[in-house]
Amino acid sequence: MTDIYIYFGRFHPLLVHLPIGMICGAILLGIWKRFKPEAVSYQTLALIWTTSAASAILSALTGYLHANGNDYTKESLDIHKWSGIGLAVLSSVVAVIYLFERSGLWMHRLRTTLVTSTFGLLIYTGHGGGSLTHGSEYLSISTLTEETPETMPRPASIESADLFTHAVMPILQTKCLGCHNASKKKGGLLLTDHAVILRGGKSGVGLVPGDPSASELFRRVSLPSDHKEFMPTDGKAPLTDDQRDILEWWIEKGALASMPLAKTPPDPRMREVLTNYFQLNRDPMLDMKAEPASEDDLEALRAAGFQARRISSSGAWLDVTYADSVKPDLSVLERVHEQLVWLQLPNCGLTDEDMEDIAGLDKLFRLNLSQNPIGDQGIAQLEGLKNLEQLNIYGTRVTNKSLGLLAALPSLKKLFIWDCPIDSTSVVAAVRPGLEIIHQVR
């Protein structure tokens, strides 16, 4: 196949629009003639059918050249090829009939049948061509709502993820499957499931479990991006460094179809890569929504001695601080409980009874209650703060008794408890993965 043929073949996707438009136009004119015979002449119909047929023949020829320059699977290609040839033949027959034989009922019926079949075949061929370029699922409604890798639920933790299912497959899906699927098998390579990924393509080199550098797939994605064998081709978005590292590590560890990370624990660097990839350290505040607090609400807070600051670009989230030593009226905080995410109330004489007002602020991510005379009874009321990530109770009267309850706060990552009547044995017992306890032995 010389380059010049391949070049002409590339006009196929453009040229096919000619027969589509013209045949539809010819059919409409034919219908119009039924209702207003004198408005459209047979010469006009003969002319438009002849040009339609010529464009269908030209499309079929360029289609033939185009097919040879691409690696489509034989089945779907064959169907499209023969329906395209059929369309060229059928439209030529219709053109010939219009040119030479117009009279008689029998002729009229034959023409109607042929024109109807041409229309059917036109739709069928067009659809077949579309499926070849976009994949056969392109026009099914379900693909619009289908979970794409981006919207797929992310694993909640490294330990609950499977490397192949949650990382490797989604990477190939977003970056490679467009050209390596059942109807478009570039380089003879399919990347649709584990078995075919291992097998490889035309070159005969597949994946070598345990040896990324000997694996063609990994070699192709690690070439310099201007190398002619670099994947993906055609300037499509390349793999990110993280994605490439994940593929490399997967092959290194045996390229298995199922690799629960709980069983193959990643080293610290890989853990960081995967944490990024799964977006595990994504700020949960980004996933929450709220209407911004009104100016009235903010005014009420200020009147009660609080400083309030909007902390997000959307203006919804509030950072509220109280910096006086006179005990504040906490009940106004209820007005902004939907927006209040950070709250600082250090050293202002709060006691266990006041914790009732804090307990309802369930959007809180950070809470500072340091140097207040609060004890275990007060802390027990904070149980419902499911979003709380940081809690500072330094210099309070909280004891060992509260540690279990605090460690059980599901989102808590940092707990400041120095200068509290708490001993280090209890601290050690309360530590869990993901929770950092900052304390000091008395």
Q: How far is the CB of 44 from ligand HEC (least distance, A)?
A: 44
Candidates 93-101, 198-206, 275-283, 304-312: pick the segment binding ligand HEC (CB under 6 A): 198-206
- Residue entry with tokens 């004489």: 349
Candidates 17, 236, 263, 442; binder of ligand HEC (CB under 6 A) is 236
CB 206 within 8 A of CB 200: yes
First to last CA, the chain: 84
- Centre a 10 Å sphere on the Cβ of residue 222 and count the other Cβ atoms it contains: 16
- Give the nearest distance from C-beta 15 to ligand HEC in angstroms: 22
- Regarding 148 and contact with ligand HEC (CB under 6 A), the answer is no
Q: Please select the residue that binds ligand HEC; options are 186, 363, 397, 439, rule is CB under 6 A.
A: 186
Burial of 379 (0-12, 13-18, 19+ CB in 10 A): buried
Which residues, at least 6 apart from 282, have a Cβ–Cβ distance to it below 8 Å? none
Contact 378, 403 (CB under 8 A): no
Burial classification of residue 281, based on how many CB atoms lie within 10 Å of its CB (0-12 exposed, 13-18 middle, 19 or more buried): exposed
Smallest separation, CB 183 to ligand HEC (Å): 13
Minimal CA–CA distance to 366: which of 358, 374, 375, 377? Answer: 358
Does residue number 201 form part of the binding site for ligand HEC (CB under 6 A)? yes
Please enumerate in sequence order all residues whose Cβ is within 8 A of that of 333, keeping only pairs 6 or more positions apart, or say none.
301, 306, 320, 340, 343, 357, 358, 361
How deeply is 173 buried, as exposed, middle or buried, from its count of CB atoms within 10 A (0-12, 13-18, 19+)? middle
Q: Which of 17, 102, 109, 202 binds ligand HEC (CB under 6 A)?
A: 202
Taking CB under 6 A as the binding criterion, the range among 145-153, 185-193, 273-281, 419-427 that sits at the site for ligand HEC is 185-193
Length of the chain: 442
* Shortest distance, position 189 Cβ to ligand HEC, whole Å: 4
Among 87, 189, 332, 340, binds ligand HEC (CB under 6 A): 189
In angstroms, give the least distance from the CB of 7 to ligand HEC.
Answer: 16
Dist. CA 306–CA 362, nearest whole Å: 19
Cβ proximity to ligand HEC, 60 vs 239, nearer residue:
239
- Contact stretch for ligand HEC (CB under 6 A) within 56-64, 186-194, 279-287, 304-312: 186-194
- Residue 194 Cβ vs ligand HEC, minimum distance, rounded to whole Å: 14
Q: Up-side HSE of residue 392: CA atoms within 13 Å toward CB?
A: 13
Q: How far apart are CA 290 and CA 386, in angstroms?
A: 17
How far apart CA 26 and CA 30 sit, in angstroms, is 6
- 66 binding ligand HEC? (CB under 6 A): no
Span 203-232, contacts to ligand HEC by CB under 6 A: 203, 205, 216-217, 220-221, 229, 231-232
Measured from the CB atom, the residue of 236 and 413 that comes closer to ligand HEC is 236
The site map against ligand HEC for 346-385 (x = CB under 6 A) is: ----------------------------------------
Please choose, from the candidates 181, 171, 169, the residue with its C-alpha nearest in 3D space to the C-alpha of residue 136: 181
Among 187, 292, 349, 421, binds ligand HEC (CB under 6 A): 187
Size of the site for ligand HEC (CB under 6 A): 24
Q: Footprint of ligand HEC on residues 159-178 (CB under 6 A)?
A: 175-176, 178
What is the per-residue burial (b if ≥16 Cβ within 10 Å, else e) of 29-48? bbeebeeeeeebeeeebbeb
Minimum CB distance to ligand HEC smaller for 24 or for 177:
177
245 or 357: CB nearest ligand HEC = 245
**Which window, 45-53, 103-111, 149-157, 201-209, contacts ligand HEC (CB under 6 A)?**
201-209
* Cβ at position 77, least distance to ligand HEC in Å: 15
Kindly tell me which of 148 and 233 has the beta carbon lying closer to ligand HEC. 233
Which amino acid would we find at residue 417? I
Beta-carbon contacts of 37 under 8 Å, excluding residues fewer than 6 positions away, are none
Residues that bind ligand HEC (CB under 6 A): 175-176, 178-180, 186-187, 189, 200-203, 205, 216-217, 220-221, 229, 231-234, 236, 239
